Each structure stands twice: as structure tokens, then as C-alpha cells.
Amino acid sequence: MGIVYNSGATGQMVSMTIRRKPQFRQNPALVVTVLAGTMMLIFVADTVTDYAVAAAVFYTAVILAATRMLPARTVVVLACACVALTLLSFALTRSGTYEVGLVNTGISIVAIGVTTYLSLKLVAAEAAAHESRERLLRMARVTSLGELTASIAHEVNQPLAAVVTSAGACKRWLAQDPPGVDNARRAVDRIVEQANRASAVIGRVRGLASGKPSQRSAFDFNELVHEIVALARNQIDGNDVALRLYLREGLPTVVADKVQIGQVVGNLLLNAMEAIAAAAGATKEIEITSEMESAEKIRFSIADSGVGFRQGEMEHLFDAFWSTKKDGIGLGLTISRSIIEANHGHIWVEPNEGGGAMFLFSLPAAEGKSA
């Protein structure tokens, strides 16, 4: 069946994780200065009040703030300073019951120590979880590329075959007497063009497989869809799937990580083809649409004529390690959701009116920038 391309606002047929850090996090010296000032205020309050007032317990708030903005060693130093200030305040306090002050001082020191320990453990756990997510993300990229191996080979072989043909033609033109220089030059131009095409395919594959950190920028979303479809074209044609693209013209550029969003589009396209393959005898159709969701967001949707969902499945589709496939590991959609949300977007699923499923996501658009 092949691919049918659609574009334009009316859908008429035609022939195709980094946020800016707050200022505090960028300036550790400023953070230490503010926290030290807060500690001195707590120290003064703890000293001028009597033993019954355990103002030193507020040092725990300083520790909690420090663990979010400073290295672990600096947090430990601040915690030790808080303990020292607590003991000094106890020694300088002269009003109230001494025994009560001793108990409150002990409780405050224990609270500071426990808060420091638990906060550092929490930060370490969050770092480990982030690293694990990055590894899973890279695994999912490599897995997706493995499924697209035949398409990638097809895409690279086509320009390489054209290079060989043009090189042969160039040799023949040059071997003539007199040499056909103009025709040979045109053959060389075709060689350069096809070599650049093969290089572009390889570049897209390397970008998808790399573990580079998120790099958000403005890009043409419709162009990205064309690139992903080109990578999957061999599978689409080989499975006799009718793919229709309804890509609205004049969309503003999207602000996101292009490589990561390409992974999501590719994953959803592969899922749609697998759903169609599982629906024996059904019409093999996929529709991809891009449009404006609001003045600030664009929306992407991909609808298939596959098996759809049984009752209760839609609620778990984005859960980790939950899959409707017999051999699925249940990470593709989970990672896709993480990517979309990390790029300030939203992803969801709906039943397809004609049978099958429809996955949708929205992304922020660049203000005043049209593709």
C-alpha cells in the first residue's frame, strides 16, 4: 500500500533531562552565605530564650535546604556547625530549668544528625534513580534501532547503490573521446548528493543511539516526523501498511530535545505497526496528525487500526514493566512518558473511533517562530 502524504490545515491530500538551574544553585558561595546567616539567627534565638524553648531544632530546615543545593561534604560541615552552635547556645543560656535545656539540646542534636543522614541518603537515592532512568533510556533507544535495522539498511543501501551507478556513469563519460565533461560533472554531483543522504541517515541513527544529555532547542516538528517515517519506511511497505500523514502547514517550531522526541515518535510508530500485525485480517492503516492544541502548544497523534485495548488496560499502559505484548518488557511507553514530561509536555491514549488505538502528546511551541 505504501505511504500517502497529507498536509495543510484542512488535511487535503497531497503526495510525507535540561532545565536552567536557579541562581542559588549556580552560586554555592551565595547559598552558604544565606544558610550561615539563617544559622546565626537560629543561634541568637536559641541563646536569648530559656532552656524550655528548643529553637535549635530549626537547624534541620537549614540541613534540608543545604542538601538540595550543596555537595554532600559541605552539608556535613554545616551539620557539624549546627551541632557546635547548639552546644554553644546551651552553654550561654542562663534562664530556665537546666535539666530541660539538657534534654532539648540532646533532642536537637539527634534531630540534626538524623535529618542530615536521611537527607543525604535521599539525595543519593535520587541520583541513583536518575542514572538508572538514563540507562533504561539508552537501552530503549538501542532496542528501537534493532527493530528498525532492516529499514536503516534499506535507507543506506539506496544512496550507496546510486553512488555506485553514478560513479560508473562518470567513468564512462570520461572514457569517451572527447570526454563528456559536463555529463561527468553531473554524475559527480549526484554522487555527492547521495553520499550526503547516506551520511544524514547514519547521523540520525547515531543521534538516536547516543546517550547525550537532553538538549532542548526549537526545531521543525513536521520535518522530524518525516525523518522517523523515512527510517521506518521499509517496514511500513514490507507490512503493506497504508500510512497517512496529516501534517498541518505553518506550525510553529517545537521547543524540546529533538533526538528524544524522535525516539518517542519512532516508538509509537513501531507500536502501531505491531498492533496492526496482531490484528489478523484487519485493515492495515495508520494515521499521523500534527496540529495546534492551543496558542502555546502543538499536538501529535498517531491512530492505528490494530487490536486496541481490553477493559482496564489503558490505565496501566504507561506503568513500568507492564505490557500487553507477550514478549514485551513494558518500558517503551514508560520512557516515552518520562521524555515528554521532561520536555514540558503531556502524553495520553484514547480509543480510536474506527477501532484500534490512538496515542497523543503535546509539546510547547516556540513563541513567534514558524517552521
pLDDT in tens, 154-186: 556 667 777 887 888 888 888 888 888 888 888
Cell numbers for 144, please give them. 528501537
pLDDT at site 362: 92
Residue 142 maps to a domain: no
Do both 159 and 246 map to the same domain? no
For the chain, the residue count is: 371
Do both 132 and 187 map to the same domain? no
Tell me the per-residue pLDDT of 104-149, one tens digit each, with 9 for 90 and over.
889 989 999 999 999 988 888 888 887 777 776 666 666 655 555 6
Query: pTM for the whole thing?
Result: 0.50
- Looking at 208, 228, 254, which one is the last position of a domain? 208
The CA distance from 60 to 113, in Å, is 9
Do both 65 and 109 map to the same domain? yes
Tell me the per-residue pLDDT of 238-272, one tens digit each, with 9 for 90 and over.
778 888 998 988 889 998 888 778 878 888 888 88
pLDDT at site 13: 33
The residue assigned the cell 533504561 is: 136
The residue assigned the cell 560541615 is: 77
Q: Which residues form the domain of 78?
A: 23-137
How many domains are there within the chain?
A: 3
Do both 276 and 344 map to the same domain? yes
Do both 242 and 365 map to the same domain? yes
- The tally of CA atoms less than 13 A away on the side-chain side of residue 78 is 30
- Looking at 170, 188, 208, which one is the last position of a domain? 208
CA-CA-CA-CA dihedral for 141, 145, 148, 153, to nearest 10: 150
Tell me the per-residue pLDDT of 283-338, one tens digit each, with 9 for 90 and over.
788 899 999 988 889 999 998 887 766 666 656 566 655 455 555 555 667 777 87
Do both 202 and 115 map to the same domain? no
Do both 100 and 56 map to the same domain? yes
Give the other-Cβ count within 10 Å of 211's Cβ: 10
Q: Across the chain, what does the average pLDDT equal?
A: 77
Tell me the per-residue pLDDT of 335-349, one tens digit each, with 9 for 90 and over.
778 788 888 898 888
Do both 267 and 347 map to the same domain? yes
Q: What share of the chain is helix, strand, coil (3-state, %, to 5)?
A: 60, 15, 25
